[in-house]
């Protein structure tokens, strides 16, 4: 096992212990990294703090950061800069769409729902990268989470699929832009995992069943598998990789 001792990473998007962000936090914690957590709003502070206390390392910097608010994002990264100086990377594990837009006809997507999904699930990566960049003085690695529904049509994923396509392309533009500063930007396309966000997708159980029956590995993806893929992307081992989407989905995407 390699170590991330002495490295600092920002984890954005822990809502509860099922969150993929939490899987990433656990993998990085085991590798000895220092972690900073951001949460969506005040109501998440206590549950996130309670979870963070269960980790092996002592990570006591937790900050609110609503990614729909430019001032909030700036204030959050300014504070991180003041408290730790330099960071080595960040995990962007944030998405949102209205539940009513995650079923039914795609052509019924509302303008408001379209913009909301893109704002939180796609644009947020760009605004976060902008404010994290000055803190990555020795280079860095940015990792976001995407899904197959941004590459091809997946039933009920609807507007979130279109937002993920936008996110995927943002990864490439950001990778090209930030590469000159030795900042890498990559996405992990995770297989379906039962989380709070996934609950919003209509008929999610059939998606899980399909993976178990048909994916090359014949099993569903775990939080830990995604966490370890992120660990690789945050480590020196992946230093030649940027603008990439790694599928951590039991191989389902090849079908």
Q: Which residues contact 31 (CB under 8 A, 6 or more apart)?
A: 1, 2, 3, 4, 5, 231, 235
For the bound state, the minimum distance from the C-beta of residue 6 to ligand 0WD, rounded and expressed in Å, comes to: 27
| Residue 162 found at the interface with ligand 0WD (CB under 6 A) | no
Does residue 159 have a known ligand-binding role?
no
| Residue 128 found at the interface with ligand 0WD (CB under 6 A) | no
| Residue 198 found at the interface with ligand 0WD (CB under 6 A) | yes
For the bound state, the minimum distance from the C-beta of residue 1 to ligand 0WD, rounded and expressed in Å, comes to: 24
Does residue 179 have a known ligand-binding role?
no
Choose one: 80-88, 126-134, 185-193, 228-236; the region binding ligand 0WD (CB under 6 A): 185-193
| Residue 63 found at the interface with ligand 0WD (CB under 6 A) | no
Rounded Cα gap, residues 85 and 79, in angstroms: 9
Does residue 63 have a known ligand-binding role?
no
Does residue 241 have a known ligand-binding role?
no
Give yes or no for a contact between 244 and 187, defined as CB atoms under 8 angstroms apart.
yes
| Residue 192 found at the interface with ligand 0WD (CB under 6 A) | yes
| Residue 227 found at the interface with ligand 0WD (CB under 6 A) | no
- 96 vs 114 by CB, closer to ligand 0WD: 96
Percent composition of the chain: helix, strand, coil (DSSP 3-state, to 5): 50, 15, 35
- The residue among 145, 142, 213 whose CA lies nearest residue 178 is 142
Question: Rg of the chain's alpha carbons, rounded to an integer?
Answer: 17
For the bound state, the minimum distance from the C-beta of residue 250 to ligand 0WD, rounded and expressed in Å, comes to: 12
Does residue 67 have a known ligand-binding role?
yes
Q: Strand 245-248: give its sheet, edge to edge.
A: 61-64, 34-39, 8-12, 89-92, 140-146, 183-190, 245-248
Both tokens of 81, joined, read: 């800069």
Q: Which residues pair with 39 in a beta bridge?
A: 64
Please pick, from the candidates 53, 196, 209, 216, the single residue that binds ligand 0WD as defined by CB under 6 A.
196
Both tokens of 201, joined, read: 């997708």
| Residue 140 found at the interface with ligand 0WD (CB under 6 A) | no
- The residue among 182, 195, 170 whose CA lies nearest residue 245 is 170
Give yes or no for a contact between 118 and 166, defined as CB atoms under 8 angstroms apart.
yes
| Residue 51 found at the interface with ligand 0WD (CB under 6 A) | no
Both tokens of 20, joined, read: 């993929």
Q: Which residues contact 206 (CB under 8 A, 6 or more apart)?
A: none
**E strands within 93-222?**
140-146, 183-190
State yes or no: is 147 an active-site residue.
yes
State yes or no: is 157 an active-site residue.
yes
For the bound state, the minimum distance from the C-beta of residue 153 to ligand 0WD, rounded and expressed in Å, comes to: 16
| Residue 95 found at the interface with ligand 0WD (CB under 6 A) | yes
Both tokens of 73, joined, read: 């994002």
Q: Which residues in this chain contact ligand 0WD in the complex, by CB under 6 A?
A: 13, 15, 19-21, 40, 65-68, 93-96, 120, 145-147, 190, 192-193, 195-198
Q: Catalytic site residues?
A: 147, 157
Annotated binding site for NAD(+): 13, 19-20, 66-67, 94, 164, 193-197
């Amino acid at each position: 096992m390699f170590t991330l001792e002495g490295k600092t990473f920002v984890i954005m998007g822990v809502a509860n212990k099922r969150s993929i962000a939490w899987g990433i936090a656990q993998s990085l914690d085991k590798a000895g990294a220092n972690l900073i957590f951001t949460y969506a709003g005040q109501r998440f502070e206590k549950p996130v703090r309670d979870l963070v206390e269960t980790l092996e390392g002592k990570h006591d910097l937790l900050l609110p950061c609503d990614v729909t608010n430019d001032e909030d994002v700036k204030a959050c990264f300014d504070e991180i800069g003041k408290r730790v100086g330099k960071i080595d990377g960040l995990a962007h594990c944030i998405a949102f769409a209205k539940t009513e837009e995650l079923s039914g006809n795609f052509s019924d997507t509302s303008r408001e729902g379209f913009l909301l999904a893109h704002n939180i699930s796609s644009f947020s990566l760009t605004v976060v990268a902008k404010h994290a960049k000055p803190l990555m003085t020795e280079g860095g690695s940015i990792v976001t989470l995407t899904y197959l529904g941004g590459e091809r049509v997946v039933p009920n994923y609807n507007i979130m699929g279109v937002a993920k396509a936008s996110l995927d392309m943002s990864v490439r533009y950001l990778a090209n832009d930030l590469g000159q500063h030795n900042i890498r930007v990559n996405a992990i396309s995770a297989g379906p995992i039962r989380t709070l966000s996934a609950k919003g997708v209509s008929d999610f159980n059939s998606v899980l069943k399909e993976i178990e029956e048909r994916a090359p590995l014949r099993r569903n993806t775990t939080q830990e598998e995604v966490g370890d893929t992120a660990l690789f992307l945050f480590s020196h081992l992946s230093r030649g990789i940027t603008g990439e989407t790694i599928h951590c989905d039991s191989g389902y995407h090849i079908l």
